[in-house]
Amino acid sequence: MALTIPLALSLSQRAQAQVETNALLSTQEIAALVGAETLKDPKLLPKLTDQYAVEFGVRLIVMDAGGIVLADSDHSAVGENYNTALRPEIGKALDPTNPQPYALTRYSTELHEELMAAAAPILDEQHLAGAARTTRDVQEVTDARRSVIVGIVVIDVAALLAGVLIAFGVAGSLARPIQRLAGAAKRLGGGDLSTRAGPVHAAAEIEELADSFDEMAARVERTVLAQREFVANASHQLRTPLTGMKLRMETARALTPDPELQHKLDAADQEVDRLAEIVDRLLVMSKQIEQGGPGEVDLQSAARRAVERWQERGGTLGASLSLSGGAVAARANTTDVDQIFDNLLDNAIAYAPGSIEITTEARPDAALIVVRDHGPGIPPAERARVTERFFRGRAAPSGGSGLGLAIARDLAERWHGTLAVDEPEGGGTRVTVRFHRATSDDGTL
């Protein structure tokens, strides 16, 4: 309806414009046929006026430049001044400065009906000599316009009712299989890898969609199972040769008296440690084993455990760890939270030894972990990329893998959390990890 009603109005206006254009063209033709010379012949002019009125099916009035009627096919207006405000078409045609043909549909106060009036100037060598004016009944056009509008409205109403009836009939057959597909997708997203949509008995397109969904679910299940097998075996397969290499290098270093060779063996031993660290972190990143839904994790307790694990190494490298904040329960997994703390503290100790402050904070809608150091900070151009995998800043010391913050971010996002890096007042770097706060948490545990 929103489309066809404007169309009906447009068609109606177009029909009226077409009638006005035809009337204007015929009136211009009559004005040209009459000509300026005929205006001067009082015997010929009435005959031609009657003749052209019959040929064109109009009432024809011919007047001089002042608007005085010289001839009228109805023989009722001869001698009258027709150039009045009630007849704007004549005023346009007899405009002494710019005479021009003009047509319009208007209501006649004399005839008490709508009529189509058109007037065209009669020129004598580019000088205004008079004008010809035609009028005709437009009731037929008006009826046609109304019929167009009524017909389109009737079609719209019928189409609307038919559409509603068809929609009710089709909705049931479409909604049921789509709802079934939506439920299967929800179960698969929730961790049920055995979910399949199965036969949906619907339109060919929906059945094809269901088949594609089942194929996708099967591929996802195979991929996850393969990843689980990889996680189960990779540690043994990768760590065993690395451990053997490390032991052999330590033995070789103890047996050789050459200081230069000892130095090279020490460097190789450090590279093995670095490779082992990269393997461990890659395993964490690729781990997709289902761990169940999130539980309640006391971030303060997790922070305390992290400080105990890293205090000795931090002291060796010149870092001092301090813990503040209250107890707050987050919706997350304990193992993942511990890994986040390990990665953040490892980065801070390695790249910004000195005072490192760990804070846990409760917000009305969030539970926060904040780790702040007082090191050189991260340039603004690099700050947005430090959570990308394997990204290392230009000023970063050698030996790192560029995975610590990427892993911490991935672990936070696994539980619908976020990780943000910024520069606090006073310099250094601040990393804020935000989790959803546990619903049962009241700020104290």
Got the DSSP string for 371-438?
Answer: EEE-SS---HHHHTTTTSTT---TTPPTT--S-HHHHHHHHHHHTT-EEEEE--TTSSEEEEEEEEBP
Q: What is the pLDDT along the chain (445 residues), one digit of tens a residue?
A: 566 667 666 766 776 677 788 888 989 999 999 988 888 888 999 999 999 999 988 999 999 999 999 999 998 889 999 999 889 999 999 999 999 999 888 777 776 777 889 999 999 887 899 999 998 877 656 666 677 677 777 777 787 788 777 777 666 666 777 777 788 888 877 667 788 887 777 777 778 888 888 888 888 888 877 766 665 566 556 766 777 788 888 888 888 888 888 888 887 887 777 677 666 666 665 554 444 456 788 999 999 999 998 888 888 888 999 999 888 999 988 888 988 998 899 888 888 888 999 999 999 889 999 999 988 888 888 887 888 876 666 555 555 556 778 888 988 998 889 999 998 888 889 999 999 998 654 444 3
Q: Is 435 left (phi over 0), alpha (psi -120 to 50) or beta?
A: beta
Looking at the chain, how many residues does it have? 445
Contact present, 56 and 26 (Cβ < 8 Å): yes
Encode pLDDT of 255-294 as tens digits. Answer: 888 888 888 888 788 777 767 766 666 666 555 444 445 6
What kind of fold does domain 204-286 have according to CATH? Helix Hairpins (1.10.287)
Helix (H) or strand (E) run with residue 352 in it: none
CA angle 425, 428, 429 (to 5 degrees): 95
Helix (H) or strand (E) run with residue 271 in it: helix 259-286
Widest pairwise Cα distance in the chain: 143
Token pair listed for 102: 């003009």
Interatomic CA distance for residues 420 and 363, integer angstroms: 16
Contact present, 108 and 129 (Cβ < 8 Å): no
The architecture that CATH gives domain 295-436 is 2-Layer Sandwich (3.30)
Contact present, 195 and 217 (Cβ < 8 Å): yes
**Structural domain boundaries in the chain:** 4-137, 204-286, 295-436
Token pair listed for 265: 């063996």
One-letter amino acid identity for 222?
A: R
Contact present, 355 and 375 (Cβ < 8 Å): no
Encode pLDDT of 116-133 as tens digits. Answer: 899 999 998 878 999 999
Interatomic CA distance for residues 412 and 270, integer angstroms: 30
pTM: 0.41
Name residue, tokens 């943000």. 420
The architecture that CATH gives domain 4-137 is 2-Layer Sandwich (3.30)
